[in-house]
Amino acid sequence: MATAILLAVCFASPYLFIPSTIHISQVQYLSIPANAVVRSFNNFQNCSRWMPSAGNCDGKTIEYNEIQFLLAKLYETALQKIAIITSSSDTVNSLISSNQLSKDSSFIYWECSLTAGISPISRIQQYNKAKKIKISIDSILGSFARFTSSGENIYGYPIIRTKVKDSILISEKKILPSYPTTSQVYELISSLKKYISDQQGDETGFPMLNIMKTDSTYDMMAAIPIRKIIPEKGNKKIKRVLYNGNLLMTEVKGGISAINKAFVEMENYKEDYDLQSPAIPYQLLITDRTKITDTSEWKTQVYYPFY
């Protein structure tokens, strides 16, 4: 009799400590701003890049540890709804949120709840299911944290903070009806180079280029850093840049689309870290594009002034 009672107590003990509703929550601290978290995590198209190695992702559904995590709804804010499918007849709705901790850190919070049921067997089954979900969520968030520890994974380029070294520029601007061709770009650059030579000036760096679209035209400005001030003439103007001023910089290999994408990611970085820009961004033309016509071989440094 005593043995039977002891066995009953042992069987019932886990049941007694399992609540009627089992809450699951997991927090992961990240060394990136909350905006970057939302943009990266919500982009399930890239989830195969940050999933744990044993998981699969098709752009909408994550499969990991025999559980499906289905993207149920994307929000414009820092909140996302994900359906956790543990079997063909069992779905648990979960919510993910992200909040800023400091200028360059945040956390991501994933939560859901399961109804335990009434019977001891049901409660123990649901408890084991909850443990499996929690372990899976922890693994996914940990993998995401490792992935986002590299800025290149977030923005597609290694964006670094550097300083202005060339503070004197000679520049010239031209307005065109369509996007400037390589020939038009280098006509402007050649004009500046000749003028520097005629004024016995010294170039100190690669040509700079900014192309800005207005309502119906394209404003193209080229500039070349020089050692000392030379006289201005016509459209050729001296630009003074704050020496040792702050710059965001990355290097791009590719043509116009790759360069434009880098500028978009620079904008994302600037907004993520709440940076302001006192001047226009620009390209530094490392490759002479008149000599190398294969755009996939172009090397360009992209710069964005900030404070």
Inform me whether the pLDDT recorded for 220 exceeds 70. yes
Residue whose C-alpha is closest to residue 155's, from 267, 48, 78? 267
Give yes or no for a contact between 220 and 209, defined as CB atoms under 8 angstroms apart: yes
Inform me whether the pLDDT recorded for 13 exceeds 60. no
Residue 166 is which amino acid?
D
What local confidence, expressed as pLDDT, does residue 209 receive? Answer: 98
Q: Who has greater pLDDT, 8 or 193?
A: 193
Q: How confident is the model at residue 61 (pLDDT cuts 50, 70, 90)?
A: confident
With H, G, I as helix, E, B as strand and everything else as coil, classify residue 32: coil
With H, G, I as helix, E, B as strand and everything else as coil, classify residue 37: helix
Residue 169's DSSP bridge partners are 225, 239
For the record, the structure tokens of 297 come out as 């071989």
Which pLDDT tens digit goes with each residue over 226-276? Answer: 999 999 999 999 999 999 999 999 999 999 999 999 999 999 999 999 999
With H, G, I as helix, E, B as strand and everything else as coil, classify residue 102: strand
With H, G, I as helix, E, B as strand and everything else as coil, classify residue 151: helix
Which pLDDT tens digit goes with each residue over 113-158? Answer: 999 888 889 999 999 999 999 999 999 999 999 999 999 999 999 9
Q: Who has greater pLDDT, 6 or 123?
A: 123
Residue 67 class from Cβ within 10 Å (0-12 exposed, 13-18 middle, 19+ buried)? buried
Which pLDDT tens digit goes with each residue over 65-115? Answer: 999 988 776 555 556 778 888 877 788 989 888 899 999 999 999 999 999
CATH number of 20-149: 3.30.530.20
What local confidence, expressed as pLDDT, does residue 44 receive? Answer: 67
Domain 160-305: top CATH class: alpha beta
39-61 exposure pattern, b = at least 16 Cβ within 10 A, e = fewer? bbbbebebbeebbbeebebeeeb
What local confidence, expressed as pLDDT, does residue 188 receive? Answer: 98
What local confidence, expressed as pLDDT, does residue 47 receive? Answer: 83
Q: Which helix (H) or strand (E) holds 268?
A: helix 256-272
Inform me whether the pLDDT recorded for 11 exceeds 50. no
Q: How far is CA 13 from CA 8, 35, 125, 256, in A?
A: 9, 45, 14, 67
> Where exactly are the structural domains of the chain?
20-149, 160-305
Measured N-to-C along each axis, helices 34-42 and 256-272 cross at an angle, to the nearest 10 degrees, of: 130
Inform me whether the pLDDT recorded for 9 exceeds 60. no
pLDDT, mean over the chain: 90
Residue 90's DSSP bridge partners are 87
Q: What is the distance between the alpha carbons of residues 109 and 136, in angstroms, rounded to a whole number?
A: 14
Q: What is the distance between the alpha carbons of residues 300 and 241, in angstroms, rounded to a whole number?
A: 20
Residue 84's DSSP bridge partners are 69, 92
